[in-house]
Structure 1
Amino acid sequence: MPMMTTAKTTFDTPLARIPTTCRGGKMLLIKVITITPGRCAGMSRAGGEDAAIALLRKMGLTKVEAQIYMYLLAEGPSTLPKIAEGLSMHRPQVYTSLRRLVSKSVVESLGGKPAVFRAVDPEVIVKMFSQEISRLMSDALEKMKSIKSRGGERSVGIWLMRSYEGALAKAESLIEKATVDMAVCGSPEFIMQVAEKLYQAEERGVNVYVLVYSPPGVEFSREKLEKLRKVRWAVSGDTLVVIDSRLGVLTQRRGVSPAAEYGLIIEEPVILDYILHDFFSRWLRSRVICDRRVRLPTKFTMHRLALLEASRLADEGVRLRARIRGRWVRSGKPMSIEGELVKPVIDLTTGLAHFIVKARGKLIKVGGPDAIVEDGAAHLIELASGGGGEDD
């Protein structure tokens, strides 16, 4: 009995050149599979076509419907029999899919015997899809925002987001929620992406501090950055947004490690305080791009940045009053004082950083949230022009 094997050849291999062989008196038959030029061209386009079909699937089309649409784009107006033959599909399957495509306004039909079908322009269907998605997103977001969790909200902890893009989107959303102050660090691309939101935050009265990092020799446009009040440049860094000392997002810059494709949502006060310490140190070491004076009156939750601004104003001869809320270090009870800001102290050698405020008939030292040696620990600092006088 003849033995059969299969040899694959390209479309331009002449059949006459394919040898036949005898083994032990038995004929070896060779079955030839030819590959047409069209199929080869299709293989070279596979990547782009796969992406197009993936998009169509996201738009609610089945795989068969997506294939039919792509066929009509490539071949132009066609009849049902021609489509079925071209895609090697059964006519009933094509008929059902065409009806659905027409009902979804993805394919147009021309009556007659036989009917003719053609693909709607891709830009039109993408626009229709975008509009529908926008409507769905708006309705869904409104509904989801109205849902109140029965378990309440957890106010502390470090949450993991297993998506680099998701973490960046979360960081961007935080910018819109800032009410007092904000520390931002990121690549030029990220800072440019959120620049408009940073401008809007400053317009709301938020004190915004931006560290943009890029390696030496790598140029980036500073025009948009210079519209902000506080921007400095550093050689390296990670993507960070901390708002009001209560919420932050941190993700390692891309390319450092393949495993670093995630972000941390930080609601733990101790960790946020450590991160802000590090941000402050980087800020002092970084090169100034723009550094405009804060507008009074103003507020801070970020203690060291408040001290930095108060020191600058004091050096310029501006007399300040301070209203500070927080806790008394020894008793742990709530603290609220107001009076003349006598001196802002930043000692980088010892690490001491505090305000000296004349209030309640004495000088009171107020440190940051982690204060130990001072009289008070500040959670919110308000600075205004004018000295003298004390609170009751």
Structure 2
Amino acid sequence: MDADEGLVALGFTEVEARVYCELLKGAPATGYRLAQALGKAPPSIYQALASLEHKGAVLVEEGEPRSFRPVPPDEVLAALQRGFETRRSEAASLLRKLHAPAQDDRIYHLKSTAQVMERARAMIASATEQVLFDLFPPPFTALVPALTEASARDVAIAGLVYDETPKVTFDCVLSSNAEFVRERWPGAQLTLVVDAREFLVALLTPDGTGVKQAIWSDSGYLSCLQHSGLSAEVRLSAPQATRARLSRAFSLVGSSPPGLRQLVGQPSTPKRGNTP
């Protein structure tokens, strides 16, 4: 990608990007000289310069003729970032007012890695009591910060990993089939069950940058089944000394997570955190 293409991706028009880059190569410059250098009609150059001035990307020296100097790239990019964050915050506030989430029990397909990972992070951030996971190294590394934050909120977290057990604040159990799975599984696995009320299952490409197949659902029934199966697999792979603790903390009926309580109409119970 060329420098001007990078600016276009950030919201500059093609002419604005070319004018700014030309000024970086040699400034100050008049609009007429820029038009000659870029092979553009002067009116389009002066229109671009006016827009760049409004964006805070050029400085104007008044005189006859006027000359233009670029604002340093770091300042321009910082201003763009601040503007984006302001607009993002405003848009988020307005969109939240429109969004009325409702459970519909359907299964949805996710198509991109970005969509899968953002959904995973959002699920973890919404967790109130329990998170179970089955994560290959690429998705595990990407989700450690979110899992650590949830653990700090006293959410009980446990799951299967397929490499050396990392030092984290939640339970990581090395899969008993780790070597076989690493060698034979057709991609990087990502399974996440939150509060037994929603689940995400994805098969990423081996390096974790693409999606082979991915589904998400907030079906309480299916989420409870996913929770039950994954918690059993975690306990079976865990050392004997920790199985009883994991059973108390994560077995579906024994721990009664929110999804199960909603499914069977059971009253809410106090939140369970990570058991020491």
Tell me whether the two structures share a fold, i.e. TM-score over 0.5: yes
Normalising by structure 2, what TM-score? 0.77
User: 1:277: Cα distance to partner?
Assistant: 4.4
Aligned to 2:185: none
Letter in 2 for 1:163: S
Corresponding residue to 2:31 among 52, 70, 80: 80
Structure 2 gaps, min length 5 = 182-187
Secondary structure of the residue that 1:129 maps to in structure 2?
A: helix
Corresponding residue to 2:48 among 97, 113, 119: 97
Paired with 1:81 and 1:56, the residues of 2 have a C-alpha distance of 22
Aligned to 1:205: 154
Paired with 1:182 and 1:188, the residues of 2 have a C-alpha distance of 18
Alpha carbons of 1:260 and 1:196: their partners in 2 closer, same or farther (altered >3 Å)? closer
Are 2:126 and 1:185 equivalent residues in the alignment?
no
Letter in 2 for 1:228: T
Paired with 1:170 and 1:258, the residues of 2 have a C-alpha distance of 15
Which string of whole-angstrom CA distances, capped at 9 and with x for unpartnered residues, describes residues 307-349 of structure 1? 9xxxxxxxxxxxxxxxxx869xxxx98568xxxxxxxxxxxxx
Aligned to 2:18: 67
User: 1:175: Cα distance to partner?
Assistant: 0.7
Are 2:220 and 1:269 equivalent residues in the alignment?
yes
Structure 1 or 2: more strand by fraction:
1
Which string of whole-angstrom CA distances, capped at 9 and with x for unpartnered residues, describes residues 268-302 of structure 1? 234334433442354245466x969869xx865x4
Quick one: percent identity of the two aligned structures? 19
Aligned to 2:74: 123
Alpha carbons of 1:120 and 1:381: their partners in 2 closer, same or farther (altered >3 Å)? closer
Relative CO higher for 1 or 2, CA cutoff 8 Å, sep ≥ 6?
Answer: 2
User: 1:78: Cα distance to partner?
Assistant: 1.9
Paired with 2:82 and 2:155, the residues of 1 have a C-alpha distance of 34
Are 2:198 and 1:247 equivalent residues in the alignment?
yes
Paired with 1:63 and 1:180, the residues of 2 have a C-alpha distance of 50
Structure 1 gaps, min length 5 = 1-46, 215-219, 308-324, 337-378, 384-392
Two-structure CA RMSD over aligned residues (Å): 3.6
Aligned to 1:233: 174
Letter in 1 for 2:143: V
Paired with 2:143 and 2:208, the residues of 1 have a C-alpha distance of 24
Q: Which has the larger radius of gyration?
A: 1
Paired with 1:100 and 1:141, the residues of 2 have a C-alpha distance of 27
Are 2:106 and 1:165 equivalent residues in the alignment?
no
Normalising by structure 1, what TM-score? 0.56
User: 1:68: Cα distance to partner?
Assistant: 1.0
User: 1:181: Cα distance to partner?
Assistant: 0.9
User: 1:230: Cα distance to partner?
Assistant: 0.8
Aligned to 1:38: none
Paired with 1:111 and 1:335, the residues of 2 have a C-alpha distance of 74
Corresponding residue to 2:62 among 87, 111, 116: 111
Q: Note if contact 2:112-2:211 (Cα within 8 Å) is conserved in structure 1.
A: no
Q: Note if contact 1:108-1:120 (Cα within 8 Å) is conserved in structure 2.
A: yes
Paired with 2:265 and 2:47, the residues of 1 have a C-alpha distance of 71
Aligned pairs (5 A) from 1:1-392: 47=1, 49=2, 52-149=3-100, 153-214=102-163, 225-234=166-175, 235=178, 236=181, 238-255=189-206, 260-261=211-212, 263-280=214-231, 282-284=233-235, 286=237, 302-303=251-252, 306=255
Q: Which moved more, 1:184-193 or 1:117-126?
A: 184-193
Q: Note if contact 2:227-2:252 (Cα within 8 Å) is conserved in structure 1.
A: no
Alpha carbons of 1:192 and 1:292: their partners in 2 closer, same or farther (altered >3 Å)? farther
